[in-house]
Structure 1
Amino acid sequence: MMQRRIGNVRWGIAGLLGTGILINYFDRINISVATKPFEQEFHVSSGVMGIVISAYLWSYVLLQVPVGVLLDRFGVKWLVRIGTFFWAVASYMTAIVSGLGLVFLSRLILGAAEAPIFPGAAKATGYWFPTKERGLATSAFDAAAKFSNVIGVPLVAVAVTLWGWRAGFYVTGTLSLLYCALFWIGYRDPSKSKRLAPEERTYIVEGGSQQEGQEAGNPLANLGFLLRQPKVWGLTLGFMAYGYSFYLFLSWIPGYLQTALHMTVLASGFYTIIPWVVATITDIVIGGWLVDALIKRGNNPTRVRKTLFTIGLLLGIAVVGAAFTTNA
């Protein structure tokens, strides 16, 4: 009953952010799906292909801290609007250009353009959700990164099979452009939203939402403070390991299946989705709903998160078996 009285505009925002992450990852996976035909057209080795695939991460990583400062200064709305437009530009550029160097440049542009989306979604979630709902809200857009492979890989694989590898970039570029328009129309901070009822606004604020507006303090001083915190280094090391594993699967599963196990592009696309289906479900059910439910019952939040996180790490050891597999 309480949910009906206060409204659900905030969950619409969660859906909007999740859709952005979904399409954002379509742009990242398209070149991975097209590995074999791309290598054949440009006559490049797997080593060179690895550089092309990872190029967007170079600009993406370098811009994370500057983007965080810009988000604190200018807010979510404009930075993500600009970024989403250039997702489309980068994808269309990759589809059109004829030289390997220009493909590499388009990947660098893609990384720069995509840098705001994850920190922007996290910041928007802080604005729009009370503390007790933030786990589920965060898991919604985080799960979208996994779910993008469930629908994006087969989608791009079909396009590549029917019309060639460049078609996959036209598809993702068009989807990015459509999302740019959707975000432009649909996102406002809570204080500027005309759709947000006073009851829901009060519920969000009283529940511990983060305050809107420019962050106080000097950005360099704030960064220096964070770098002196052991927790920050712990999270950094953890995300380094997570990022390596995540992008290893994201970037190389389709190409590995095509090259080592001799699958077609289409078949590799459908085999690729299997681990991502599981990841999507566990992200929402365990990383979101279960965490929030256990905390609401009075369990220590830190203990809940550490326990579930440790279980996930132990289950991840199972991937070692893939190194000894010789067939699909």
Structure 2
Amino acid sequence: MSYPLKHSTLPEPLHKKKPTRARFIMLTLLFFGTAINYLDRTNMAVAASAIQDDLGLDAAMLGLILSAFGWTYAFMQIPGGWLIDRFGPRLVYGVSLILFSLFTLFQGFAKNFGTLFGLRLGLGFSESPAFPANSRVVAAWFPQRERALATGVYTAGEYVGLAVATPFLFWLLSSFGWQSIFLVTGVIGILFAAVWFAFYREPKDSKYVNEEELAYIRDGGGLADQVPERQKITWSKARHLFKYRQFWGIYIGQFAVTSTLYFFLTWFPSYLVQEKGITLLKAGFVGSVPYIAAGIGVLVGGYWSDWMVKKGVSVSKARKTPVILGLLGACTIIAANYTTSIGLVIAVMSFAFFAQGMSAITWTLVSDIAPKELVGLAGGVFNLAGNLSAIVTPIVIGMIVSQTGSFNGAIVFVGVVALIGALTYIFVVGEVKRIEIEE
């Protein structure tokens, strides 16, 4: 006589486990880390008018202070990317968080141009590994079909954090003085560093991931456990980052993408107060609207790009289309020169920043193109190219405003650079595919 086998007696391996979702824990860390990162580099824009009055600075001198971050941030991108590939994102990004938060906090005690300029140089130096680390984490933790949306989510941290915090920072400014802005944002960053060290691990070392999720990531083109924590980088490998048109195209294009961004991160609050005559508290609230629009734009661009990949559209078309349309949309910022209505100005700025946000999924191309051994270093070179605009844009705008007494020429400058970026993605960036290093 035979008896039916009860379901409960089946061996455990026959019950297929569902993949865990540990990658979204890591993405949440990137989101908050990026939000704090941008608070620390943008708080100067909120405090700029008050600092200018308090320290007796003209527009050109203020432009130099606003650009100081970019000098060290841009030129430390390649060393920062090398550090990520050499020592891994957990250690390097954690130390970076602590250092840039301290440099932020110390700005609250600055008394003159030289001290502020030096501390902003230190801030740029210490923040340099952040975005190469983001790119490296996404490449390790996410399959290709989810990578644009993941990039969009952490990039949205830039804008969501600013949208939420801008009214709060203006309230701090009007209630306690400009020094309070740096003290508060610096402490927030130090506290988050402890959270990062507590939760972030590489996929192969994380206690939150199971084998099914690792297989899902690996089978989808994610690096998962394929990349050792530490890599030996040689020039024979690194030169691949300068050999191909894909890289040169995204380098030039990223300069254009971040030029619009750095107008909003440096001069936008001063533009509202000085050019449009808005009070500080009102600037805090209406000025947050373009940041919200940009955050939505990033998510739209990321979701749309991944949706096209899932529908079988080529990776090249899926990645480049939101970027090109976003850069073309950012050109509309010039329309703000032709209206005096505050409502229309905010509407124009919001649309332009929405479009810029949509184009900001460009980091996905680094994960898609870079050799798997050089994702961190490739992110460093890419971010170096993009953040040259952190130097150029604040200085050029400061000089234009100082010479003309108006922001109109500055707005035209931002729009023209965005157009150049769109043309670069159309005519220079070729097929999007991973470049392999031949041993």
Please, what TM-score do these two structures have when normalized by structure 2? 0.71
2:20 maps to what in 1?
Answer: 7
CA RMSD of aligned residues (A): 1.6
Say if 2:321 is the partner of 1:312.
no
Q: Which letter maps to 1:325?
A: T
1:228 maps to what in 2?
Answer: 243
1:103 maps to what in 2?
Answer: 116
Counterparts of 1:271-282 in structure 2, within 5 Å, are 271-282=286-297
Q: Distance in 1 between matches of 2:218 and 2:233?
A: 26
Q: Distance in 1 between matches of 2:38 and 2:124?
A: 11
Asked whether the 8 Å contact 1:20–1:179 carries over to 2, the reply is yes
Say if 2:257 is the partner of 1:242.
yes
1:70 maps to what in 2?
Answer: 83
1:112 maps to what in 2?
Answer: 125
Q: Which letter maps to 2:227?
A: E
Asked whether the 8 Å contact 2:272–2:278 carries over to 1, the reply is yes
Give the superposition deviation at 1:327: 4.3
Q: Distance in 2 between matches of 1:320 and 1:97?
A: 36
Asked whether the 8 Å contact 1:156–1:171 carries over to 2, the reply is no
Say if 2:72 is the partner of 1:51.
no
Q: Distance in 2 between matches of 1:228 and 1:215?
A: 24
* 3-state secondary structure, aligned to 2:179: helix
Say if 2:217 is the partner of 1:208.
no
Residues 175 and 217 of structure 1: CA distance in aligned 2, closer, same or farther (over 3 Å): closer
Q: Which residues of structure 1 form unaligned runs of 5+?
A: none
Aligned length: 324
* 3-state secondary structure, aligned to 1:232: helix
Give the superposition deviation at 1:243: 1.5
Determine which of 310, 322, 326 is the counterpart of 1:296. 310
Of the structure 1 ranges 194-203 and 7-16, higher mean CA displacement relative to structure 2 is found in 194-203
Residues 268 and 207 of structure 1: CA distance in aligned 2, closer, same or farther (over 3 Å): same
Give the superposition deviation at 1:217: 6.1
* 3-state secondary structure, aligned to 2:108: helix
Say if 2:204 is the partner of 1:191.
yes
Asked whether the 8 Å contact 2:257–2:327 carries over to 1, the reply is no
1:209-259 alpha-carbon deviations (Å, 9 max, x no partner): 122215766432233221121111110110111121110121111011111
Q: Distance in 2 between matches of 1:32 and 1:284?
A: 25
Determine which of 154, 162, 180 is the counterpart of 1:149. 162
Moved runs in structure 1, 4+ residues, more than 6 A?
none
Q: Which letter maps to 2:27?
A: A
Determine which of 94, 97, 100 is the counterpart of 2:107. 94
Determine which of 41, 57, 80 is the counterpart of 1:28. 41
1:61 maps to what in 2?
Answer: 74
Q: Distance in 2 between matches of 1:144 and 1:319?
A: 22
Give the superposition deviation at 1:67: 0.9
Say if 2:204 is the partner of 1:163.
no
Residues 193 and 214 of structure 1: CA distance in aligned 2, closer, same or farther (over 3 Å): closer
Q: Distance in 2 between matches of 1:118 and 1:218?
A: 19
Give the superposition deviation at 1:268: 1.1
Say if 2:54 is the partner of 1:41.
yes
Say if 2:277 is the partner of 1:262.
yes
Give the superposition deviation at 1:76: 0.5
Give the superposition deviation at 1:179: 1.1
Residues 60 and 204 of structure 1: CA distance in aligned 2, closer, same or farther (over 3 Å): same
Residues 217 and 184 of structure 1: CA distance in aligned 2, closer, same or farther (over 3 Å): closer
1:322 maps to what in 2?
Answer: 336
Q: Distance in 2 between matches of 1:89 and 1:214?
A: 27
Q: Distance in 1 between matches of 2:324 and 2:73?
A: 28
Residues 193 and 93 of structure 1: CA distance in aligned 2, closer, same or farther (over 3 Å): same
* 3-state secondary structure, aligned to 1:52: helix
Asked whether the 8 Å contact 1:128–1:209 carries over to 2, the reply is yes
Of the structure 1 ranges 69-78 and 302-311, higher mean CA displacement relative to structure 2 is found in 302-311
Please, what TM-score do these two structures have when normalized by structure 1? 0.94
Q: Distance in 1 between matches of 2:218 and 2:321?
A: 29
Asked whether the 8 Å contact 1:29–1:153 carries over to 2, the reply is no
* 3-state secondary structure, aligned to 1:248: helix
Q: Distance in 2 between matches of 1:97 and 1:247?
A: 23
Q: Which letter maps to 1:59?
A: T
Q: Distance in 2 between matches of 1:154 and 1:82?
A: 29
Q: Which letter maps to 1:121?
A: N
